[in-house]
Chain A
Amino acid sequence: DQQVKQNSPSLSVQEGRISILNCDYTNSMFDYFLWYKKYPAEGPTFLISISSIKDKNEDGRFTVFLNKSAKHLSLHIVPSQPGDSAVYFCAAINTGFQKLVFGTGTRLLVSP
């Protein structure tokens, strides 16, 4: 039962352009969403999060958008940089249960 889905396994973008990574979820009880970034041979690192009471959160080049009615969130990176090349995991949680559920990740490649 995959409650968090990232349907695009990979994405290629040119440096300077916008990267848009998508995530869908099925559990309407999720009330907090996070994005993690993972480089090879390292653990995931926290990038940005959003509460279900908001529809947008911005941190520098990274913006997360949440569409609760569609159960969809997206991560926008602009401008994209080669150092952004990594696997990005979407994660969701019902904070009453403290169990973080991850998607399968999207591999982003930003070419110079």
Chain B
Amino acid sequence: DTAVSQTPKYLVTQMGNDKSIKCEQNLGHDTMYWYKQDSKKFLKIMFSYNNKELIINETVPNRFSPKSPDKAHLNLHINSLELGDSAVYFCASSQEGIRDSPLHFGNGTRLTVT
């Protein structure tokens, strides 16, 4: 059973397009995250939701919009894709309090913008 699953695994698209990445967790966790790993291998947090409520919103362009229909899902929609958006995007989840529940990550979505 996959604990945190995200789709698609690979996404190749052209500049200017709009795309979505879906994420679902079956761990019963309250908090979900989106992380971005860029070409320099930095893993940086983008957003965090707790029980469908946005709690962390890093300085991410507003072309990126997370949507949490329920606490088991956190989708990422990206408008007007740019070359610099090419990266691997990881979804993760945890219980509230990382001390008690370290992040569980999905396997990533490799986004390539041409």
Query: Counting chain B CB atoms within 10 Å of each CB, which of A43, A45, A98 scores highest?
Result: A43
Given contacts A43-B108, A45-B105, A46-B103, contact A102 B44 (CB under 8 A): yes
Q: Is the CB of A98 within 8 A of B56?
A: yes
Q: Which residues from chain A contact B97 at a C-beta distance below 8 Å?
A: 95, 98
**26 A-B interface contacts by CB (under 8 A):** A2-B42, A34-B98, A36-B105, A41-B108, A43-B92, A43-B106, A43-B107, A44-B90, A44-B105, A45-B104, A46-B102, A49-B99, A95-B97, A95-B98, A95-B99, A98-B31, A98-B55, A98-B56, A98-B96, A98-B97, A99-B45, A99-B56, A102-B42, A104-B41, A104-B42, A105-B43
- What 8 A-B pairs are tightest by C-beta distance, nearest first? A43-B105, A46-B102, A102-B43, A104-B41, A43-B107, A44-B105, A42-B107, A43-B106
Interface hits, B68-114 → A, CB 8 Å? 90, 92, 96-99, 102-108
| A89→B97 CA distance, assembly (Å) | 20
Contact of A32 among B40, B42, B48, B99 (CB under 8 A): B99
Most chain A CB within 10 A, of B31, B43, B90, is at B43
Q: Who on chain B is nearest to A97 by CB?
A: B56
Residues in chain B near residue A46, CB distance under 8 A = 102-104
Residues of A within 8 A of B (CB): 2, 32, 34, 36, 41-46, 49, 51, 89, 93, 95, 98-102, 104-105
A43: which B residues are within 8 A, CB to CB? 4, 90, 92, 105-108
Complex Cα–Cα for A30 and B45 (A): 16
For A104, the closest partner residue in chain B by CB is B41
Which of B31, B41, B98 is A93 in contact with, Cβ under 8 Å? B98
| Residue of chain A at shortest CB distance from B106 | A43
A34 close to B102 (CB less than 8 A): yes
- The 8 A CB mask of B29-52 against A (1 = contact, 0 = none) is 001000100001111110010000
